[in-house]
Structure 1
Amino acid sequence: MTETHHSTDQRTRTAVVTGASSGIGAATARALAAAGFHVLCAARRTDRIEALAEEIGGRAVACDVTDDASVAALAAAVAEAGDGALHVLVNNAGGAFGSDTVDEADVEDWRAMYDVNVLGLLRVTQALLPALRASGDGLILNVGSTAGRVSYEKGGGYTAAKHATKAVTQTLRLELNGEPIRVSEVAPGMVHTEEFALVRFGGDQAAADAVYDGVPDPLSADDVADAIAWVATRPAHVNIDELVIKPRAQAAQHKVHRIR
């Protein structure tokens, strides 16, 4: 596959984006490629990431972050692509499943959310830490959420998982202090992507549309990707601990301006 060449200072830098098949992940892969990174696009849906990798001059790697063997294969691909070094890891794979109260929640929905949002992040980070260390200038960027800061009704499982994402990020920053690795979190608020709400509501398009009904200009995947690329391109001595990004219409989880 022919790689796209960019600026000299970033040309050989390598990035991994998990959950790159759609939404924020796909937009982030494009943004990092535009900034000059060679991007490994990791996700389960190979048809999508193969098309994306061809578009940006990157590499598609089939990866299910909830599967140990799949994550090990991703680490092997990173070692091959970057000569053993990785400069940026974007832990983006995640999702929300269900919208029940705690009283009526499906335990399997909660288990699935924790597995992908938290344990998936753990698996990938553990597997790729040696390559990040080898780069001499690594960044772990975890995609969190405002749900990791404020709880809300019928969101207990997702808010619990995203609070855990924040906690893992903060713990990693403490444990890796003194090593050549920065640790950041980008936490978006209301982002309108093609799949997030639809998956959460089990394919109920009307319920998914109602989330954004009347909201003028919610964030797009490109907005979040732009923030991620900005964090990833700061000088090596600059760590952006966390960046919370919301649309102007959203003052808080429960305070969203809607045009009726």
Structure 2
Amino acid sequence: MNTATTRPVALVSGASSGFGAAIARHLARSGHRVVAAARRSERLAELVAEFPGQIHAVPLDVRERSAISALIANLPDDFANIDVLVNNAGLALGLEPAQRAELDDWQQMIETNCLGLVALTHAVLPSMVARNRGHVINIGSIAGEYPYPGGNVYGATKAFVEQFTLNLKADLLGTAVRVSNIEPGLSGGSEFSNVRFKGNDDKAAAVYAGTAPLTPDDIADTVDWLISRPAHVNINSISIMPVCQAPGALQVARKS
């Protein structure tokens, strides 16, 4: 038997940096064959060079449904049966209150964080059910649980991810396919805040000043742990914060 083709296969979206790149590396080190998908193909080439023959790179914008269909249809045989789907592609844009937010930013977050995640899951899930094996891991956020000023649509998209995860689990009852949602809190070592503030490095750096945030490796470790649970165990949701963070008190506006 060809042991290369019997290794489990993982598909990681948003794999060019941050959480996605760390998850791809961790899974490759643990013996998975990894389909690394992201918009920036030059970043993916670095992963392929690091793990030759073990990582298959595919340029992908999850907002393009036809590109998702083409990805699944054109996977090499050794990567064709996805055992683990990590829906990591996502972003936050802006921190303005809703009345001053850009509608284009809202649309891009909804299309990426919700529609892109749904489309990729829809493409992969039938094969998992047919083979009665697999694990869908969604990267949500504590913003889906705890509102904060300026979180508006970003938080709403992550609340969608949490509820979609739970509803997937309800639909998959009677199968061996597992579904989990990871909700990170304050996280550094990625481009999240740089993207949110549209390249303003000073604003991005201020988010982490004086803190010890979560790292991409922390989230990758969590993915490893989820996958390694016994086959009969499904972890529905994991909410993770660094010790420097806690849920905030409800705010009250007072007249002077």
TM (norm. structure 2) is: 0.91
What SS class does the counterpart of residue 85 from structure 2 fall into? strand
Deviations 1:47-97 (A, max 9, x none): 111221231221101111000111012212447334x52110000000001
5 Å matches for 1:52-91?
A: 52-56=47-51, 57-78=54-75, 80-82=77-79, 84-91=80-87
Number of matched pairs: 247
Aligned residue for 1:258? Answer: none
Query: Are positions 1:168 and 2:192 aligned together?
Result: no
* C-alpha separation in 1, matches of 2:229 and 2:138: 16
Deviations 1:147-176 (A, max 9, x none): 010110011011011111111111111111
Q: 1:199 aligns with which of 188, 195, 206?
A: 195
Using the TM superposition, give the Cα deviation of residue 125 of structure 1 relative to its aligned residue in structure 2, in angstroms: 0.4
Q: 1:127 aligns with which of 123, 135, 142?
A: 123
* C-alpha separation in 2, matches of 1:194 and 1:93: 13
Query: Are positions 1:246 and 2:241 aligned together?
Result: yes
Give the partner amino acid of 2:29: A
* C-alpha separation in 2, matches of 1:176 and 1:222: 29
5 Å matches for 1:33-48?
A: 33-48=28-43
* C-alpha separation in 1, matches of 2:45 and 2:176: 31
Structure 1 residue ranges without an equivalent (≥5): 256-260
* C-alpha separation in 2, matches of 1:22 and 1:159: 22
Query: Are positions 1:27 and 2:22 aligned together?
Result: yes
With 137-146 and 171-180 compared, the bigger mean Cα shift is at 171-180
With 127-136 and 19-28 compared, the bigger mean Cα shift is at 127-136
**Contact 2:15–2:44 (8 Å) recurs in 1:** yes
Deviations 1:182-225 (A, max 9, x none): 0001110011023110110011111101111111x211100111
Aligned residue for 1:237? Answer: 232
Using the TM superposition, give the Cα deviation of residue 136 of structure 1 relative to its aligned residue in structure 2, in angstroms: 2.7
5 Å matches for 1:77-156?
A: 77-78=74-75, 80-82=77-79, 84-156=80-152
**Contact 2:190–2:216 (8 Å) recurs in 1:** no
% same residue: 41
What SS class does the counterpart of residue 179 from structure 2 fall into? strand
Closer/same/farther in 2, CA of residues 254 and 226 from structure 1, 3 Å limit: farther
Give the partner amino acid of 2:23: T
* C-alpha separation in 2, matches of 1:188 and 1:175: 25
Using the TM superposition, give the Cα deviation of residue 46 of structure 1 relative to its aligned residue in structure 2, in angstroms: 0.7
* C-alpha separation in 2, matches of 1:40 and 1:194: 20
* C-alpha separation in 1, matches of 2:231 and 2:73: 25
* C-alpha separation in 2, matches of 1:74 and 1:232: 23
What SS class does the counterpart of residue 252 from structure 1 fall into? coil
Closer/same/farther in 2, CA of residues 99 and 120 from structure 1, 3 Å limit: same
* C-alpha separation in 2, matches of 1:252 and 1:76: 43
* C-alpha separation in 1, matches of 2:96 and 2:176: 42
**Contact 1:85–1:134 (8 Å) recurs in 2:** no
Q: 2:208 aligns with which of 209, 212, 227?
A: 212
What SS class does the counterpart of residue 238 from structure 1 fall into? coil
What SS class does the counterpart of residue 71 from structure 2 fall into? helix
Using the TM superposition, give the Cα deviation of residue 134 of structure 1 relative to its aligned residue in structure 2, in angstroms: 3.8
With 46-55 and 86-95 compared, the bigger mean Cα shift is at 46-55
**Contact 1:49–1:60 (8 Å) recurs in 2:** yes
What SS class does the counterpart of residue 246 from structure 2 fall into? strand
